[in-house]
Amino acid sequence: MLGCLGATAAQALLGREFRSTKDRGRPVDRPEGRIIATAHPASILRAPEAADREAESAVFLADLKVMRELLKA
């Protein structure tokens, strides 16, 4: 399994049609293996409001938990 942090990394592997706001946190099976993408941590820090940073952090952590579970499988 490969985890991508950010849209740039994900698009390099999954194609330009990948959208991190829509497709993040869901595994994609490819011939080279399973790939899952999430936001880049720096993007969370750039959110202008504290509430937005907290919400994005929660989604980011949920994505990491998905990755952890996939690694256990």
R_g of the chain computed on alpha carbons? 12
- Tokens for 28, please give them: 């994609």
Domain containing residue 38: CATH number: 3.40.470.10
What does the pLDDT look like over 45-58, one tens digit per residue? 999 999 999 999 99
Query: What is the residue range of 63's domain?
Result: 2-72
Starting at the edge strand found earlier in the chain, the sheet holding 2-5 runs 2-5, 33-38, 28-30
What does the pLDDT look like over 12-43, one tens digit per residue? 999 999 988 888 999 999 998 999 999 999 99
Give me the pLDDT at residue 20, please. Answer: 82
Specify the pTM. 0.84
Q: Which of 20, 70, 58, 23 is nearest to 40 (CA)?
A: 20
Domain count, the chain: 1
Look at residue 73 and tell me whether its pLDDT is greater than 80: no
Which residue is associated with the tokens 């869901």? Answer: 26
